[in-house]
A = this chain, B = another copy of it.
Amino acid sequence: MSDAVLTAGDRLAGRLLERLAEATTDAPGITRVAYGPGERFAHDLVRAEGEKLGAAARIDAAGNLYLTLKGRSPDLPAIVIGSHLDSVAHGGNFDGAAGVVAGLAVMAELLEQNIQLPRDLIVLATRAEEAVWFPLSYPGSQAALGLLDPQALEAKRSDSGRTLADHMREEGFDPDAVRRGVPGIDTDKIAVFVEAHIEQGPRLVAAEAPVGIVTGIAGGFRYVDAKCLGAYAHSGAEPRFARHDAVLGFADLVAGLEAEWDALEREGLEATITFGRVQSDPTQHGGSRVLGELGFTLDVRSAEAVVLERIEARLRAILAEVGGKRGVTFETGPRFTWEPATMSPALIAKLDRAATELQMRAPHVPSGAGHDAATFAGAGIPTAMLFVRNENGSHNPHEAMEIADLDQAIRLLLRFVTDFDTDQP
């Protein structure tokens, strides 16, 4: 077989991504709300393209889409390539969609080259991966495996205030089956799950490599509705000794957690600590106010559970110290956690070999962001991920993946699937 130059796959990936961008533009950027019209359009488009290629389409109770290209031995567990089709509001076109399109492109190349794999190849387009819509970890892929906590169906979508169950039902799916744990696909029917995704950081740009092989997905915890509470007062009239200034309390917290991050780095431990929202109350704030309340989110991530525990412990100590020093209190509110996930070392080795054969630079990189792949790894399925080089991060309109780099990921996936049953370690 030839995979030096992509033909059908190449044209298909670029074309589909362009159509998606046109249809879901929401300047600046694109918006594909989970269980909303943009995600629906993307699923319909991918389904139609898959069926055009000759794949059999199936949609599960949660709305996940499975496009199956028959292999020679349909009883063997399948190779599943998947990612999501929703986006954040005013996000970029490639986050999620590039991985699904890459799977379709692999199918198209196989067909163009008249290759039938030993086992089924399934392209899986999941639902609702972006936690900005529902405060949940990958509910679409969790439901695909019948693992979604029934409680999660009551989670409310951030824009509509309506539940996940409502939105599933509105889109024509079956939340009751999801609640009963009916899987969209049995785990023992999956030989391997592989996700391609744009990198959301700058490591591949810095390494000048088009593609990276992911070593693991960080876990983390997030406080989505934390507050520093002090006392409102008049900026001119309230003397310093009498102030309970929420801004000073918050600034101390930022400095305290940054000192902890410094300490972790000195010990060679990796983590990220981020305040993604900082917001005084618009009905209370103003130029002449000492702020009595400052709301914020805190997002902490690490591939190592012990590091997460250490940061949580330090956080508690800082909140107590700052509270005493500043005369403020902190309410951390609901805690949202997700587990770290390890990628399969055997699959990483297979991807390394495929890259070597293609003379492609594909360095190992960690994933600080969460991905559907974590669901499959967490369920004990051998799982791998590829990152595609991308400038300017993700979750913003300035994502800048080159289609030429996505082509490299498609070539690597193609080699991976064709070698899967012949390749020996």
A interface vs B, CB < 8 Å?
Answer: 88-90, 131-132, 199-203, 218, 220, 222, 224, 231-240, 242, 245, 247-248, 250-251, 254-255, 258, 261, 265, 272, 274-280, 282-292, 294, 297, 299, 301, 336, 367-370, 393-396
CB-defined contacts of A290 to chain B, threshold 8 Å: 274, 276
Contact indicator B276/A393 (Cβ below 8 Å): no
CB-defined contacts of A90 to chain B, threshold 8 Å: 283-284
Given A254-B248, A279-B280, A280-B279, CB of A236 within 8 Å of CB of B288: no
Across the interface, name the chain B residue whose C-beta is closest to A396. Answer: B232
Given A201-B242, A240-B261, CB of A299 within 8 Å of CB of B279: no
19 contacts between A and B (CB under 8 A): A201-B239, A232-B395, A234-B394, A235-B274, A236-B299, A236-B368, A238-B368, A239-B368, A247-B275, A248-B258, A251-B251, A251-B254, A274-B290, A276-B286, A276-B291, A277-B280, A277-B291, A279-B285, A289-B395
Contact indicator A201/B278 (Cβ below 8 Å): no
Given A235-B274, A238-B272, CB of A132 within 8 Å of CB of B287: yes
Across the interface, name the chain B residue whose C-beta is closest to A275. Answer: B247
Contact indicator B200/A369 (Cβ below 8 Å): no
CB-defined contacts of A265 to chain B, threshold 8 Å: 240
Residue from the list B202, B235, B248, B395 in contact with A272, Cβ < 8 A: B235
Given contacts A251-B254, A289-B395, 12 further A-B contacts (CB under 8 A): A131-B288, A132-B287, A202-B242, A220-B236, A232-B395, A233-B393, A234-B368, A236-B369, A237-B368, A245-B274, A277-B285, A278-B278
Across the interface, name the chain B residue whose C-beta is closest to A246. Answer: B278
Contact indicator A255/B245 (Cβ below 8 Å): no
Contact indicator B274/A239 (Cβ below 8 Å): no
CB distance from A297 to the nearest CB of B (A): 5
How many chain copies? 2
Across the interface, name the chain B residue whose C-beta is closest to A90. Answer: B283
Contact indicator A279/B276 (Cβ below 8 Å): no
CB distance from A307 to the nearest CB of B (A): 14
The answer for the CA separation of A399 and B255 in the assembled complex, in Å, is 34
CB-defined contacts of A299 to chain B, threshold 8 Å: 235-236, 287-288
Contact indicator A395/B89 (Cβ below 8 Å): no
CB distance from A260 to the nearest CB of B (A): 13
Contact indicator A297/B301 (Cβ below 8 Å): no
Contact indicator B261/A289 (Cβ below 8 Å): no
CB-defined contacts of A255 to chain B, threshold 8 Å: 251, 255
Given A202-B242, A247-B254, CB of A370 within 8 Å of CB of B236: yes
Contact indicator A234/B285 (Cβ below 8 Å): no
Residue from the list B199, B280, B367, B393 in contact with A278, Cβ < 8 A: B280
